[in-house]
Amino acid sequence: MKQCPNCGQYTDDFSRFCGSCGHNFSQTNGQPTPPPYNAGGSYTDNAFDACGPEGKSRGIAALLAIFLGGLGIHYFYLGKTNAGIISIILTVVTCGLWQTVMFIQGIVMLCMTNAQFREKFVDTDKAFPLF
């Protein structure tokens, strides 16, 4: 089964056209791939879905950043141990003001798509990904 990028309806793999909207599957016109849709036709980018084979969730990381960001817990969750330690040190040095920066980072994480989150925080080689 394949899904129509226009209307989200499923058709069999051998169809050249969507039975619902008439989209031509063999013609791409150089347009970017549309976002994933569920069977109801609505956009699916759930913050709490696992983002890749590591199973890291954007929603969990964002909540950890919002509530425990000063301790760097979200960095430890993402496997960025050095960033977690740096975050703890910055919280101590700034007398807790670093928690405000991590709170903002948590909000930014919630506003990202899963693909942006994965690129910025999971797949990056940076030791201390910020915003």
In this structure, the answer to whether residues 30 and 85 fall within a common structural domain is: no
CA nearest neighbour of 126 among 88, 94, 80, 72: 80
At CB < 8 A and 24+ separation, what contacts does 5-12 make? 5/33, 5/34, 5/37, 6/34, 7/41, 8/37, 8/38, 8/39, 8/40, 8/41, 8/42, 9/41, 10/39
Instruction: Please state, for a pLDDT cut of 70, what percent of the chain lies above it.
Output: 84
In this structure, the answer to whether residues 15 and 68 fall within a common structural domain is: no
The mean of the pLDDT values for the chain is 83
pLDDT at 80: 93
Number of structural domains the chain divides into: 2
In this structure, the answer to whether residues 110 and 67 fall within a common structural domain is: yes
pLDDT band at 46 (very low <50, low <70, confident <90, very high): confident
Q: Is 113 domain-assigned? A: yes
- Please report how many Cα atoms fall inside a 13 Å half-sphere around the Cα of residue 109, on the Cβ side: 30
Q: Is 130 domain-assigned? A: no
The domain of 91 spans 58-122
Task: Report the 10 Å Cβ neighbour count for 119.
Answer: 13
pLDDT at 36: 52
In this structure, the answer to whether residues 71 and 106 fall within a common structural domain is: yes
Residue 93 pLDDT > 60 = yes
pLDDT band at 43 (very low <50, low <70, confident <90, very high): low
Q: Is 127 domain-assigned? A: no
